[in-house]
A = this chain, B = another copy of it.
Amino acid sequence: MILQLEKGLAKEKLQQLVSKLSDNGFSTSEVQTQFNHYLVAIGKKEVDIRSIGQLEGVRDIHRVDDAYKLVSRKWRVHDTSIAFDNGVTIGRNSLSIVAGPCSIEGEAQTLKTIEHLNANGLRMMRGGVFKPRTSPYAFRGVGLNGLKEVSALCRANGTLLVTEVMQVSQVAEMHDYVDIFQVGTRNSQNFNLLDELGKAGKPVMIKRGFSGTIEELLNSAEYVFSAGNEKIILCERGIRTFETAYRNTLDLNAVPILKEKSHLPVFVDPSHGLGIRQFVGQMALAAVMAGADGVILEVHNCPERAMSDGQQTLDFTEAARLYGQLKATWELRNSFNGQF
């Protein structure tokens, strides 16, 4: 059960609500986000929600029978969108395209990438500075100093930066240099990190665990929201199956299901979701037709020399052609008016 509270509700009034709910067998969590004030009430008893909805301080009340609450579409029927100062909006009335290298390698590469994005009218760059690597001996990214450099270049060019955060202490360190925090597939259920990102307030893109269920992804988003942050993007990036002909099985079924279950924007990462450069374009287009609000692509000025993931990375020419196709596909889907 979600109670939307009046703004500036006095503490004692809030306490009265909590008591009332407790008397009815509900435990409550107070959630204060950038935008709103909520009480999430969890309980098993039947209760007439009108009797609670009429109490002082309650703006609205909704029964939500999913395990996740605040990210559910059962109380917020309209799509959530996320607006940035530079005019970019994610999640409604436009297709978001995020592109850039797997790993940030330095200033020259970043400038080339930004130039490429600008030439194609794109405003969001991806690029990792902390890289989760299976082996401790592999390249782990340029780190915080690299981030600062890249961030300065992005800011100077009006480009938003999406980059992965790997642990709690990095949230504060990276905060001023990041526009969207990315939670990687291996941290999809790193609950402490999700909590911390909930407090940080900056937009968070959560990648689905490579063996995470759709419901687990929504619960991970619930961690961020319930810790205070409504700016969340969900991202499908491929799951692990028995098939070995490609790197991961891109689960496009997840797209319409996530859109149905949650009001949050849904992105797709076909680069990781397939792992084969030659077919990334087709799967990106398929993702848009499946209902994605955005795609995130690995793009590099010279994929053959990329420090990681070159085998699934597009070059600038391929990428530019794809952007146009993505927009045309998005427009066609849009012309169907949500009637499939």
Residue of B nearest to A281 (CB): B340
Contact across chains for A166 and B192 when beta carbons are under 8 A apart: yes
Contact across chains for B189 and A167 when beta carbons are under 8 A apart: no
Residue of B nearest to A222 (CB): B136
Q: Which of B69, B168, B243, B282 contacts A169 (CB 8 A)?
A: B168
A167-B168, A239-B241, A251-B249 are known contacts. Are A285 and B137 too (CB-CB below 8 A)? Answer: no
Q: Which of B69, B290, B325, B340 contacts A325 (CB 8 A)?
A: B340
| CA gap between A192 and B170 in the complex, in Å | 11
Interface residues of A in 190-212 (CB under 8 A from B): 190-193, 195, 209-211
Contact across chains for B252 and A286 when beta carbons are under 8 A apart: yes
A242 at interface by CB-CB < 8 Å: yes
A56 at interface by CB-CB < 8 Å: no
Contact across chains for A210 and B213 when beta carbons are under 8 A apart: no
Contact stretch, chosen from A120-128, A253-261, A295-303: A253-261
Per-residue CB contact flags for chain A residues 89-124 toward chain B (1 = under 8 Å, else 0) read 000000000000000000000000000000000000
Residue of B nearest to A288 (CB): B289
Interface residues of A in 210-228 (CB under 8 A from B): 210-211, 213-216, 219, 222-223, 226-227
| CA gap between A256 and B279 in the complex, in Å | 6
Interface residues of A in 264-313 (CB under 8 A from B): 273-274, 276, 278-279, 281-283, 285-291
A134-B67, A211-B210, A339-B321 are known contacts. Are A253 and B279 too (CB-CB below 8 A)? Answer: yes
Per-residue CB contact flags for chain A residues 41-59 toward chain B (1 = under 8 Å, else 0) read 0100000000000000000
Complex interface: chain B residues within 8 A of A336 (CB): 325
